[in-house]
Structure 1
Amino acid sequence: MRSTTSELNWSGTVTYTAERVLRPASLAEAAEIVAREPRVHGLGTRHSFNDSADAPGVLLDLTAVPTDLVVDPERRTATMGAGTRYGVVAPEIDRAGFALHNEGSLPHISLGGAIATGTHGSGTALGSLSTAVRSFELLGPDGSVRTIDRDDAGFDGAVLHLGLLGVVTRVTLDVEPTFRMRQDTYGPIPWDTFTAHVAEVHAAAYSVCSYTVFGDTVSEVLLKSRVPDDADDTAVPDDLLGAPRLPGTPGDGHHTARDGSVGPWWDRLPHFPIESVPSVGSEVQSEHFVPLRHAAAALEAVRGMADRIQPHLHVCELRTMAADRFWLSPSQGEDVLCIAFTWKKHPAEVAALLPDLEARLAPFDGRPHWGKMSSLGGDAIAELYPRLRDFRDLVRSADPERTFASAFGERVLGA
């Protein structure tokens, strides 16, 4: 087991304040740590851009615990260690003849961290990564293992939990028969044309992502289309709202192939291959979810800040996500548009912009991504999440001695 201190998040902009970071090599070792330490918090792969994964005492990193993948063809499930990365386990699930319904843009993130923070891919008909969870195991304050199943009372409050209910050790996900995909790029689309047809554009394929810097156009739209099992390929349109299909790029070790070539789902759903190091941490991120019915108005509101946003912006990616019923989900109750900013590594300047940006999104019930930069405090969050009080009760019941408490949980959730 390895122990270190003074560790940073992926972008190098958050220094964890915990006394130690421990990396057990087995679940038994992890259980012993939780039972022994007065304050423990789970740590994923450090792709959060705030202190949501930080806490006093010990941070527990399970990335060294073996994946131990178990695929059940009859139940159509795959069970694996929560510390495993999507890009590592996805090809193994594919070799067993199955697929996950979606992945995030980065395959480098761990299952446990992604699920706990409501991380997602894109697709108007697709739920977040958390919606695939059938059940999960977590270590309680005494180190004992508890299993929470989809049929259990409180499941909808427990799946997306920000580490406040315990340390998740294993996750069982729904899977489906494996499939193939292609990625095609279109653009540019004039801004007014795009905003008049946001929902239409994002329903044009299985998964759709759009890119802009809030100028006169949406520069590129990326369509990820499923290829039928009985076909060598699938037809895609020659244009999208008049914008041509672009040549795209083959897989180059940095991006997954965007040239219309057919490949496995696990190599087309993410934007990057597992072997790459996207942006080498030279960025910070914020992401804001608004109901899809407000998409055009919300985008116009943000564009009104273009002159202030652009000097600090790499690109803004627009994605959609289907409604779910999880208490802390940014898409709880309604389909959403995700406005995801990849900022230059200007954390102070971005932090100064966020209050005004989020104020512009407030009329549209803009909810922040739990793992990214935000200026919203507890009062604003409480208004956006009607089940927050129920979540606090769930935390008190599961962790009365506050073994898993964090400063972020106290400050933002009151939990």
Structure 2
Amino acid sequence: MQSCGGLLEGVGQMAKNWAGNVTFSAEVRTPRTVPELQELVRLSDHVRVLGSGHSFNRIADTDGTLVSVAGLPRIAAIDLGDDTVTISAGLRYGEVTGALQDEGRALHNLGSLPHISVAGACSTGTHGSGDTNRPLAAAVSSITFIAADGELVTLSRGDADFLGSVISLGALGVTVELQLDTQPTFDISQVVYDGVPVERLGADFEEIFASAYSVSAFTDWVDPDVMIWRKLHAGTPYEPDWMGGHLADGGRHPIKAMPADFATLQGGVAGPWNERLPHFRLEFTPSNGEELQSEYFVPRAAAAEAFEVLRSLGQVMAPVMQISEVRTIAADELWLSPSQGRDSVALHFTWIQDETAVRPVVAALEEALMPLGARPHWGKVFTADAAALRECYPKVPDFIELAAKYDPDGKFRNDYLNTYLP
């Protein structure tokens, strides 16, 4: 669980995802202009898009034309009049957030890694954290994509198709531009607590996760203690002893055995939002991560029951588990969002990089969590089938209809979409 570095190596080379568990089936094409990309889409039978490669399944794969939008002209136009920033789809969060900070603006939320592409994160439902913070895609106020006929389509908040277009899994077209809402900049102080008894997660759930702008709890569900990271508005007082734990005596990585060099600054030192909300520093960019990931979103009301389930499965997960993270996320309206229509608790799992060993454990995990209303993250390792996904994502039928509207011949479909959104 380190920070994420470069992935795509250029035209003519076979690409792998960040974790290295997926080798894509086609060479990556990197158009340099939007018209060039439009022509490429128009002439191709099948097209998929690679972002920064931080998905852990074959959501981006195709045996047709595989494209990267990282070569398009770089745009980051900040509009202080309407509090937005318009960006080209290939930009990564770390390339946008610094420019916003320089202009006194901020995004409402960030993920753990500043190295992931904005368009890729939004299209798969990457979420960030915080009781009152909606997922990253909720900041999108307008999206422009190339449809199957090669023409540009722009949808804005309030348009009939907008809520189905932002988290689209690449099924509507190739995103080339996004407009994001911004807000005034703010500072964050990050403090870490060791030794919080795991029982407190359920018993004091509301108090723990309401205690900061963003809160993450790290556990392997076997250790009796939990490590909790609190990201507080700068100037908010914090206690040396809290929830049965105590302030860490130095920097911490989410995995206890790992050095804290990659982690963002802790110890209560105030800093700008873009340097504290991620868990990992922008300047550290290892080329790949030796891990797999899964994530499930349960209704907030089911949090305590979910924690008990996970503790009961702790020994089952232990042989393949690196670390698990618990976060909260506010409800949104985007059709394929894991937090669509409900405040949610995100249960994240970082596994060893052995899919054969991991999949049976994931299946056991899903068997226990799905009855609680769990929704799998679209870009990570899961075993649920199309029927299960249709059951837990109520807007799937509407989305399938929307995808057929913009892509009637299935140009942007692949084995992943045919399997899970048939």
For Structure 1 versus Structure 2, the TM-score category normalised by the shorter chain is over 0.9
After superposition, what is the alpha-carbon deviation per residue over 1:69-103, rounded to whole angstroms, capped at 9, x for unaligned? 11111110001011100011110111111001111
Maintained 8 Å contact 1:330/1:368: yes
How do residues 334-413 of structure 1 correspond to structure 2 at under 5 angstroms?
334-413=342-421
Partner amino acid, structure 1, of 2:366: E
1:188 aligns with 2:195: yes
In structure 1, the gaps of 5 or more residues are: 228-232
- Please report the RMSD computed on the Cα atoms of aligned residues, expressed in angstroms: 1.7
How do residues 98-137 of structure 1 correspond to structure 2 at under 5 angstroms?
98-137=105-144
State how far apart, in whole Å, the 2-side matches of 1:299 and 1:235 are: 29
State how far apart, in whole Å, the 1-side matches of 2:286 and 2:112 are: 10
After superposition, what is the alpha-carbon deviation per residue over 1:170-220, rounded to whole angstroms, capped at 9, x for unaligned? 100000011111100112111222221123211110000000011243421
Which residue of 1 is the match for residue 237 of structure 2? 235
State how far apart, in whole Å, the 2-side matches of 1:138 and 1:253 are: 38
Partner amino acid, structure 2, of 1:12: G
Maintained 8 Å contact 2:110/2:278: yes
State how far apart, in whole Å, the 2-side matches of 1:131 and 1:237 are: 33
In structure 2, the gaps of 5 or more residues are: 1-8, 254-259
Maintained 8 Å contact 1:206/1:224: yes
Which residue of 1 is the match for residue 4 of structure 2? none
Q: Which moved more, 1:305-314 or 1:237-246?
A: 237-246
Decide which of 251, 270, 278 is 1:262's aligned counterpart: 270
Deviation at 1:168, TM superposition (A): 0.4
Please give the TM-score of this superposition, normalised by the length of structure 1. Answer: 0.95
State how far apart, in whole Å, the 1-side matches of 2:33 and 2:76 are: 14
Deviation at 1:235, TM superposition (A): 1.7
Partner amino acid, structure 2, of 1:335: D
Q: Which moved more, 1:256-265 or 1:32-41?
A: 32-41
After superposition, what is the alpha-carbon deviation per residue over 1:135-169, rounded to whole angstroms, capped at 9, x for unaligned? 01100112211101011002111111000000000
Partner amino acid, structure 1, of 2:199: D
CA shift in 2, pair 1:139/1:107, >3 Å: same
State how far apart, in whole Å, the 2-side matches of 1:156 and 1:239 are: 43
Which residue of 2 is the match for residue 230 of structure 1? none
State how far apart, in whole Å, the 1-side matches of 2:78 and 2:242 are: 39
Partner amino acid, structure 2, of 1:249: G
Partner amino acid, structure 1, of 2:313: M
Maintained 8 Å contact 1:101/1:175: yes
CA shift in 2, pair 1:274/1:26, >3 Å: farther
Maintained 8 Å contact 1:272/1:278: no
Q: Aligned residues: percent identity? A: 39
Deviation at 1:25, TM superposition (A): 2.0
Which residue of 2 is the match for residue 308 of structure 1? 316
Maintained 8 Å contact 2:87/2:179: yes
Q: Which moved more, 1:190-199 or 1:154-163?
A: 190-199
State how far apart, in whole Å, the 1-side matches of 2:160 and 2:229 are: 39
Maintained 8 Å contact 1:248/1:260: no
Maintained 8 Å contact 1:250/1:259: no
What's the secondary structure of 1:324's corresponding residue? coil
State how far apart, in whole Å, the 2-side matches of 1:105 and 1:312 are: 22
Deviation at 1:43, TM superposition (A): 1.2
Q: Which moved more, 1:244-253 or 1:139-148?
A: 244-253
Which residue of 2 is the match for residue 15 of structure 1? 23
State how far apart, in whole Å, the 2-side matches of 1:402 and 1:413 are: 12
What's the secondary structure of 2:340's corresponding residue? coil
State how far apart, in whole Å, the 1-side matches of 2:89 and 2:215 are: 27
